[in-house]
Amino acid sequence: MTWALQGKESADLPFWGISLPTAAIKHLAAATAALLALTACATAMVQPAASVRAEAPQRASINVKPREVRNHPAGNDFYQFVNQDWLAANELPADKASIGAAEELSEQSDRDVRAMIEEIVASSPRAGTIEQKIADLYSAAMNEAEIEARGTEPLKPHLARIRAVQTIDDLMRLMGVIGYNSPIGAGVAPSPADPDRNAVWVSQAGLGMPHRGYYLDDSDEMMGLQEGYRGYVATILGLIGYSDPEDGAERIFDLERAIAEMHVDEDRSLSADETMRAMSYAELKAYAPSFDWDRFLSEGGLSGGDLYVVMDQTAVADLGDLVHDYPIEDWKLWMEFHIAHQFADYLPQAFANAMFDYYSVQLSGITEKPERWQFAVGIVNTHLGDAVAQLYVQRHFSEADKTQVDSIVTHIRTAFETRMRSLQWMDDETRSAALEKLAALQGMIGYPNQWRDFSGYTVEPGKLVENIYGSYAFEWREQQVDLGKPVDRTRWPTHAHIVNAFYNPLGNTFVLPAGILKPPFFDPSADLAANYGGIGAVIGHEMSHGFDDQGRQFDASGRTFNWWTDETDDLFVAKSNRLMRQYNGYCPFRDACVNGLGTLGENIGDLAGLEIAYAAYRLALAGEEAPVINGLTGDQRFFIAYAKTYRDKVREEIARAMLEGDSHAPSRYRVNGVVRNMDAWYAAFDVRPGDRLYLAPAQRVRIW
């Protein structure tokens, strides 16, 4: 997961999610960040299992022929076995980086949001209302003629501000201003040392390509992408009137390569304390003395506090030194490019086309732009998302649906507790702390109890760039206010109609938005097997993140604290290492394999999530056997439902990039790599020695 830093480059914070393929792909394709920071609310009460079964008509919603089940192909490639018809029937359209279950839900959500917005536009809402803001932001994004007519006029105040910089002091002040690029980013979030207090987080930032590897890899493919990036930079510089764009592009690329050399890749072998260092202001200044923190933080409105968190191991200190190694004129040129790059999609087509050509065509293999309404809906979702979500929930998510999901959550919590109490590898001291953390784990289900207030955000008709920048400023003012207040653990800073799910270790909370509570993840009319194999596995995944290789370093309150005894820790690490070695052996391309260590937390989440969901499914059956439906047993339907949620097709450019930069394994292995470790799957599909996915019982990894 990623987190916005001053409306510019973003940096990874410790928020983990199911991260369905669409979310990760959109991040890589656009080289931009999702604006996600998570807090908590309470989980509702459960219905008895019997009443849940009575309300769920016996409909499988699964298209797999019983004959195919009896012939055992499930044991060779379960992902293909379940999804073969869908994979054969669907091709990637030219305007998509991926298609799949999550993509389909996201597109339906966008269509639903478009219908609501266009109704609002047609109603001519009163000035100052949230409806007026939605209508004017959408209309400004749709009005291509107005955007062309205004040209670069909206950029001129920003460019003039950058060009007025004369000294290093001026430069440091401007790097602290919302929306202006900096090699170090800053933002406000709970402190890992004291999660009830907000802290200023600082982290590496400053790159225009997706991550450091794009600058440092000298393979033919990456060299081509580097050349393409220089071409894109030159185009943007020419459009904003720079006299020698090619020379400017070389200077900017050299500067960003130096930044990339300082950047640090995630190292999951390090502890949370090593990667998230809590400091006082005096300690921060001593840690990175070359960076002018006084001017940088004062200009951003973040001075005066005494609680700071430094991420990325040594990168922040090194980047502070780098500021003094390049001429001021190079930094100014780099900032001019990035302010134009940041708004390129909202400027005339010459800017937008240049951005599309590099980030979509060259980086992602997408050859057609989405329809204009999709672009406009995306802008409204990003900047007025909570307002849109409120309308979405009123129309598309019922209280009955929420009650049914709450029931699944409670069964999964009970199943997790039961399994935790019986784990043979966990000693009593560690078990007691784990049970305490599980009891404190809170769920945010469907939508928030209180919707966000947008009265401080002004939207002007026809001024798209100004409205976008105004949104950055609005978000930043809220962060400034947060810095002086205790952490609000009830706040929903993600949107209720988003298609994803997340865990936040700093709050010990997970979020399950209404957007994902649709088929194939959740269907109120489907049977228990389909829902526990679908949304149940997602819930189990998110809950288990509190106990994976990273989440286990936080206690029940969200504070970084090692509550594991050495003996139990060693046993957990041994089990995790076995899973890591399994995933190291999965190679979607002849020359590229899964990074078992880099994906370890998500792989633990996938395996634990499905194991816990299966136990909860059996609990929900209350000792009865599920009926056979369309020739499929309940256990078969459970595993088939799980595999359906990961069906997807991804462009090779993106799939390869995700192997480098994503913390999740490709979807095929999120299915096959999980089920082959579960005894119940072998029994359900009669998987035998000789089947390609078969693992002997002693080789199967069992953690939770």
* CATH assignment of the domain containing 178: 1.10.1380.10
Kindly state whether residues 533 and 584 are assigned to the same domain. yes
Output phi, psi for 649, to 5 deg.
-130, 135
Same-domain status, 558 and 695: yes
Q: What percent of the chain has pLDDT over 70?
A: 89
Residues 300 and 353 in one domain: yes
For residue 376, tell me if it sits in a domain: no
Question: What pLDDT score was predicted for residue 65?
Answer: 46
CA distance 210 to 32: 8
Same domain, 76 and 201: no
pLDDT per residue over 502-549, tens digit each?
999 999 999 999 999 999 999 999 999 999 999 999 999 999 999 988
Q: What is the mean predicted confidence (pLDDT) over 83-93?
A: 94
Please say if the pLDDT value at position 635 is more than 90.
Answer: yes
pLDDT above 60 (res 347):
yes
User: Is 12 exposed, middle or buried (CB count within 10 Å of its CB: 0-12, 13-18, 19+)?
Assistant: middle
- Report how far residue 501's alpha carbon sits from residue 536's, in angstroms, rounded to the nearest whole number: 12
Residues 404, 360, single domain; the answer is no
pLDDT of 63 > 50? The answer is no
User: 567 to each of 86, 198, 269, 563, how far by Cα in Å?
Assistant: 47, 34, 18, 12
In a domain, 184, yes or no: yes
- The DSSP annotation for 439-456 comes to HH-EEEEES-SSPPP-TT
Tell whether the model's pLDDT for residue 58 goes beyond 80: no
The whole-angstrom distance between residue 273's C-alpha and the CA centroid of its chain comes to: 22
Domain shared by 357 and 409, yes or no: no
Q: Give pLDDT, residue 126.
A: 95
Of 368-382, 483-497, 632-646, the range with the lowest mean pLDDT is 483-497
120, part of any domain:
no
Asked if the model's pLDDT at residue 470 lies above 80, the reply is: yes
55 has a pLDDT exceeding 60 = no
- Average of per-residue pLDDT values in the chain: 88
Question: Which residue in 286, 277, 281 sits closest to 312, CA to CA?
Answer: 277
Check whether residue 425 and residue 323 sit in a common domain: no
Q: Is 168:290 a contact under the CB 8 Å cutoff?
A: no
Helix (H, G, I), strand (E, B) or coil at 214: helix
pLDDT at 494: 86
What global pTM score does this model have?
0.86
Q: Is 622 exposed, middle or buried (0-12, 13-18, 19+ CB in 10 A)?
A: exposed
Helix 399-422 vs helix 428-440: crossing angle, to nearest 10: 170
- Which pLDDT value is given to residue 657? 87
Distance in angstroms (rounded) separating the CA atoms of residues 390 and 676: 41
Cβ(141)–Cβ(379) below 8 Å = yes
The helix (run of H) or strand (run of E) holding residue 675 is: helix 667-675
Co-location of 439 and 360 in the same domain: no
**Does some domain include residue 460?**
no
Radius of gyration of the chain (CA): 25
- Do 211 and 354 reside in the same domain of the chain? yes
Q: Supply angle C-alpha 608, 614, 619, rounded to 5.
A: 125
* Distance from the first to the final alpha carbon of the chain: 24
The backbone region for 61, taken as left when phi is positive above 0, alpha when psi lies in -120 to 50, beta otherwise, is: left
Q: How confident is the model at residue 368 (pLDDT cuts 50, 70, 90)?
A: very high
Q: What is the pLDDT of residue 519?
A: 95
Reply yes or no on whether the pLDDT at 71 is more than 50.
Answer: no
Whether pLDDT at 121 is above 50 = yes
Cα–Cα distance between 182 and 669 in angstroms, integer?
Answer: 38
Residue 390 lies in a domain: no
Q: What is the pLDDT of residue 287?
A: 95
Question: What pLDDT is recorded for position 306?
Answer: 86
Residue 642's domain is classified under what CATH number?
A: 3.40.390.10
Confidence of residue 48 (pLDDT cuts 50, 70, 90): very low
Q: Which domain holds residue 506?
A: 40-85+398-452+496-699
Mean pLDDT, residues 62-69 taken together = 45
DSSP string, 388-414: HHHHHHHHH--HHHHHHHHHHHHHHHH
Segment 6-31 shows an average pLDDT of: 33
Asked if pLDDT for residue 17 goes beyond 60, the answer is no
Q: What is the DSSP letter of 533?
A: I
DSSP string, 40-101: -----PPPPHHHHHHHS---------HHHHHT-GGGT-HHHHHHHHHHHH----TT-SEEEH
**pLDDT given at position 690:** 94
Strands 442-446 and 509-513: parallel
Task: Please give the pLDDT value at position 267.
Answer: 73
Contact residues for 260 (Cβ-Cβ < 8 A; gap 6+): 207, 209, 212, 214, 215, 216
pLDDT of 462 > 50? The answer is yes
> Is position 578 within any domain?
yes
Neighbouring residues of 458: CB distance < 8 A, sequence distance ≥ 6: 133, 470
Task: Please state, as a whole number, how many other Cβ atoms lie within 10 Å of the Cβ of residue 178.
Answer: 19
pLDDT band at 274 (very low <50, low <70, confident <90, very high): confident
222: buried, middle or exposed (CB in 10 Å: 19+, 13-18, 0-12)? Answer: middle
Same domain for 411 and 297: no
Mean pLDDT in residue range 311-340: 94
For 91-111, the pLDDT digits (tens) are 999 999 999 999 999 999 999
Residue 379 pLDDT > 90, yes or no? Answer: yes
Residue 443 within any structural domain of the chain: yes
> Given this model, what pLDDT does residue 8 score?
31
78 and 206 assigned to the same domain? no
- Summarised one tens digit per residue, pLDDT across range 189-223 is 999 989 999 999 999 999 999 999 999 999 999 99
Question: What is the rounded distance in angstroms from the CA atom of residue 519 to the CA atom of residue 104?
Answer: 10
What domain count does the chain have?
2
Residue 19 banded pLDDT, cuts 50, 70, 90: very low
What confidence score (pLDDT) does residue 42 get?
A: 24
From CA 589, how far away is CA 36, in angstroms rounded? 31
State whether 419 and 361 are in the same domain. no
Residue 380 lies in a domain: no
What pLDDT score was predicted for residue 549?
86
Asked if the model's pLDDT at residue 14 lies above 80, the reply is no
Q: Apex CA 431: angle with CA 426 and CA 433, to 5°?
A: 140
